[in-house]
């Protein structure tokens, strides 16, 4: 009797496990027609993750490209894939240039390709995909965005500073439009699977992003954008604890941020080729001279160089007498990617516990901040 009871319990647990596994996989059934594409033409849905997950993205994209599962046959195609609801992808077609950004969720998706270009593609049957497409169609199709884009192109073509200033003002207006559209969408559709992607790509303040993210239902943040937002809130926003890293210095010796606990540390992202970075360096030198000898302060420079000689020459020329690290991969620098640094100069000030207490201090702001700390 006991044995039979245990067998029944085991079977029930296995069924529950497989049921949960099946739910977590989120099947998406894909179908469509492509009357002008040759038999065997591959259609790819490639993951488009936040930059922090670039290596994972490239590995998965390579696997998909090497083993395509969506192939045209007699002008049609059918396939099933597993998705995380609200994940973003690029739709690409073998032999056709370009790509189309889309967002997916479980259910069905019909991809119709009546011609031989991406402009002819229509996506139907998936509410998440439709919502994402419509949101950005409304944004990029707005008059203010069109004007800003045209002004920016004209400014570059003519090298006209007046036109450049106008373009910048218009782009600021598009930013306000984007934030308003995003906020309106969240209020109207609080359970939409595209919300994490919209918030991740938005330009709201850290306080606003934290509040919005914490208000989202858990089911809509189970994707790479939700993962990225959670990481940013815990580790990169002011009040978060900076991610520990190890990277080699100019002599090839590993430097571990964890060994700097107990000190105030400025993580300075820069590069020898970056003119604004070099202009900031005298302020860092002054801060180091004032607080780096007898006070509990130091700097770690993370360089986005790819030329070691140029990197070392800039350190010597600018008198940057502190620890410097780099993997010489430019914007693919591993620390830069993990810290979400897309441009330089950029910096993070950490307290002795490793908590971020300030970001992107410019000019005399660092000296003023350190003066308050060490008063």
pLDDT tens track for 221-254: 999 999 999 999 999 999 999 999 999 999 999 9
Question: Does some domain include residue 18?
Answer: no
Q: Is residue 254 domain-shared with residue 358, that is, in the same domain? A: yes
Question: Does some domain include residue 192?
Answer: yes
Residues 357-370: tens digit of each pLDDT: 999 999 999 999 99
If one counts the domains in the chain, the total is 3
Q: What was the pLDDT predicted at 25?
A: 61
Q: Which domain holds residue 88?
A: 25-125
Q: What was the pLDDT predicted at 3?
A: 52
**3-state DSSP assignment of residue 293:** coil
Closest CA relative to residue 267, chosen from 293, 286, 247: 247
The arithmetic mean of pLDDT across residues 274-278, rounded, is 97
Arithmetic mean of pLDDT over the chain: 91
Q: What was the pLDDT predicted at 184?
A: 96
Q: Give the gyration radius of the chain's Cα atoms.
A: 25
Q: Kindly provide the residue ranges of all beta strands, DSSP E only, lying in 135-201, ordered along the sequence.
A: none
**Res 13 pLDDT > 50:** no
Q: From CA 31, how far away is CA 29, in angstroms rounded? A: 7
- From 125, 154, 179, the end of a domain falls on 125
Q: From CA 154, how far away is CA 167, in angstroms rounded? A: 9
With 0-12 / 13-18 / 19 or more C-beta atoms within 10 angstroms meaning exposed / middle / buried, residue 79 is middle
Question: Does some domain include residue 61?
Answer: yes
Token pair in block for residue 161: 């500073």
- From 125, 157, 192, the end of a domain falls on 125
Q: What was the pLDDT predicted at 57?
A: 96
Question: Does some domain include residue 20?
Answer: no
Do the strands 264-270 and 297-303 form a parallel or antiparallel pair, or are they unpaired?
A: parallel
The model carries a pTM of 0.85
Token pair in block for residue 353: 């516990």
**Res 9 pLDDT > 90:** no
> Taking a C-beta distance cutoff of 8 angstroms, is the pair 270, 304 a contact?
yes
| pLDDT band of 78, cuts 50, 70, 90 | very high
Q: Which is more confidently placed, 141 or 213?
A: 213
| pLDDT band of 4, cuts 50, 70, 90 | low
Weakest-pLDDT range from 13-17, 95-99, 302-306 = 13-17
**Res 12 pLDDT > 50:** no
Crossing angle (nearest 10°) for helices 143-158 and 161-188? 150
| pLDDT band of 314, cuts 50, 70, 90 | very high
The arithmetic mean of pLDDT across residues 110-139, rounded, is 95
The arithmetic mean of pLDDT across residues 12-18, rounded, is 41
Q: From CA 305, how far away is CA 333, in angstroms rounded? A: 9
Q: Is residue 143 domain-shared with residue 120, that is, in the same domain? A: no
Token pair in block for residue 10: 């085991």
Q: In which residue are the tokens 């005298």 written?
A: 282
Q: What was the pLDDT predicted at 47?
A: 97
Q: From CA 148, how far away is CA 152, in angstroms rounded? A: 6
Cis check: omega of the bond before 345, within 30 degrees of 0: yes
- From 93, 125, 157, the end of a domain falls on 125
Q: From CA 322, how far away is CA 62, in angstroms rounded? A: 40
Q: What was the pLDDT predicted at 164?
A: 76
Do the strands 100-104 and 122-124 form a parallel or antiparallel pair, or are they unpaired?
A: unpaired
Q: What was the pLDDT predicted at 6?
A: 47
Token pair in block for residue 373: 């700390």
């Amino acid at each position: 009797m006991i044995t039979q009871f245990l067998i029944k319990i085991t079977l029930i647990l296995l069924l529950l496990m497989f049921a949960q596994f099946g739910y977590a996989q989120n099947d998406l059934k894909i179908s469509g027609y492509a009357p002008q594409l040759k038999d065997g033409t591959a259609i790819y849905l490639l993951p488009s993750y936040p930059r922090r997950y670039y290596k994972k993205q490239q590995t998965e994209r390579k696997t998909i490209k090497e083993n395509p599962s969506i192939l045209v046959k007699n002008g049609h195609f059918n396939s099933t894939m597993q998705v995380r609801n609200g994940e973003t992808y690029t739709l690409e077609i073998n032999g056709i240039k370009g790509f189309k950004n889309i967002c997916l969720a479980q259910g069905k998706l019909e991809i119709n390709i009546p011609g031989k270009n991406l402009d002819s593609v229509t996506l139907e049957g998936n509410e998440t995909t439709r919502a994402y497409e419509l949101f950005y169609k409304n944004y990029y199709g707005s008059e203010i965005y069109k004007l800003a884009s045209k002004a920016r192109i004209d400014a570059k073509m003519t090298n006209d500073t007046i036109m450049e200033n106008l373009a910048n003002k218009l782009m600021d207006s598009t930013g306000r439009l984007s934030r308003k559209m995003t906020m309106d969408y969240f209020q109207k559709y609080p359970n939409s699977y595209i919300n994490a992607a919209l918030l991740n790509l938005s330009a709201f303040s850290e306080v606003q992003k934290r509040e919005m993210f914490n208000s989202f239902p858990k089911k809509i943040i189970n994707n790479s954008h939700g993962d990225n937002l959670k990481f940013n809130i815990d580790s990169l926003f002011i009040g978060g604890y900076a991610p520990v890293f190890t990277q080699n210095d100019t002599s090839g010796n590993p430097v571990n941020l964890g060994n700097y606990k107990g000190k105030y540390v400025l993580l300075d992202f820069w590069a020898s080729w970056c003119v604004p970075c070099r202009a900031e360096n005298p302020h860092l030198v002054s801060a180091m001279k004032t607080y780096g000898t007898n006070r509990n302060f130091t700097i770690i420079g993370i360089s986005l160089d790819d030329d070691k000689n140029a990197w070392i020459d800039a350190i010597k020329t600018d008198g940057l007498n502190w620890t410097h690290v780099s993997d010489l991969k430019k914007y693919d620098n591993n620390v830069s990617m993990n810290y979400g640094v897309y441009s330089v100069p950029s910096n993070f000030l950490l307290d002795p516990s490793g908590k971020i207490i300030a970001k992107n201090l410019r000019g005399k702001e660092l000296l003023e901040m350190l003066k308050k700390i060490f008063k």
